[in-house]
Amino acid sequence: MVGTPLFTCSSASKSLFSEVPQWTESGISLPELNSLYRNQKISLVIPCYNEEEGLPVVLKEVPDLVDEIIVVDNNSTDQTGNIARDSGVKVIREMKKGYGQAFQTGFALVTGDIIITMDGDGTYPPPEIPRLLEILFGDELDFISACRFPLTDKGVMDPVSKFGNRILTIATRILFGNGLKDSQSGMWILRKDVWEKSPARNKGMAFSEEIKIRAILGGAKFREVHIPYRERFGKKKIRKFRDGMKNLIFLLKLRIGN
């Protein structure tokens, strides 16, 4: 079930945020990259719960090739919604809590063919989007999950989070045999039809592993690609022990149900 939108402030333009070099890492120009994917429309979905510090940084870095940005304001009590609205991107306010809930609400609004996701806290790098798209189209993949490990900058993740990520990823590998290196990454690039064919339904943090597991089980051409992970802006929203335990229980239930 997708949450009920309370309001949508919609405006297609996101040209305020075009200060990014329009070249990919491999030297391919964006027009060349555009010809690789021709008429595919690219949508970016950003779930946000009180991300007034990180969101402006993320929006500023989004490259021009992204056609649509949808910010899901998950009942924020800070300026997140206003920042997003002022920037001219699409904003939807979701009153029901939860990371997975936010994504399910956002995905229902996507008009693009390709969905990209990232947190609103500045940890995932928007400048990597062209390179990842180039790999997706060049290698005819259906789903790329950005892999944070090994961390480019070891200091950006605390030891408890590193441990929790490792346990959850090992559990995912043991239970589903899919060889994932980073089951908890929140940056994905996927074709919308993968989502439509194999939707994930968890409302919380376990949505992150569920979407990958279901896509792989559904036969998607899937690959993890390394990206640099960065320090967070703003306060952590995750409750490590509670969310970690919920994730583990969810994984077991999903395995039994499959």
Stretch 44-83: interaction string toward ligand GTP, x if CB under 6 A: ---xxx-x----------------------x---------
Nearest residue (CB) to ligand GTP, 17 versus 99: 99
Single out the residue of 120, 121, 93 nearest to residue 106, CA to CA: 93
Helix (H) or strand (E) holding 44: strand 42-48
Q: Choosing among Mg ion, ligand GTP, none, which partner's interface includes residue 210 (Cβ < 5 to 8 Å by kind)?
A: none
Instruction: Output the six-digit token pair for 104.
Output: 């399910």
What phi-psi label fits residue 40: left (phi over 0), alpha (psi between -120 and 50 degrees) or beta? beta
Q: Kindly state the smallest distance separating residue 111's Cβ from ligand GTP, in Å.
A: 21
Q: Among residue numbers 167 through 186, which ones bind ligand GTP (CB under 6 A)?
A: 186
By the rule CB under 5 A, 121 interacts with Mg ion? yes
How would you classify the pairing of strands 143-147 and 188-191?
Answer: antiparallel
Stretch 221-250: interaction string toward ligand GTP, x if CB under 6 A: -----------x---xxx------------
Among 88, 98, 106, 164, binds ligand GTP (CB under 6 A): 98
Q: Give Cα separations from 16 to 57, 67, 107, 226 (angstroms).
A: 12, 13, 23, 28
Q: Choosing among ligand GTP, Mg ion, none, which partner's interface includes residue 238 (Cβ < 5 to 8 Å by kind)?
A: ligand GTP
Omega cis (within 30) before 31: no
In angstroms, the CA 179 to CA 79 distance is: 40
Interface ranges with ligand GTP (CB under 6 A): 47-49, 51, 74, 97-99, 102, 119-121, 123, 161, 186, 232, 236-238
Q: Which chain residues interact with Mg ion by CB under 5 A?
A: 119, 121, 123
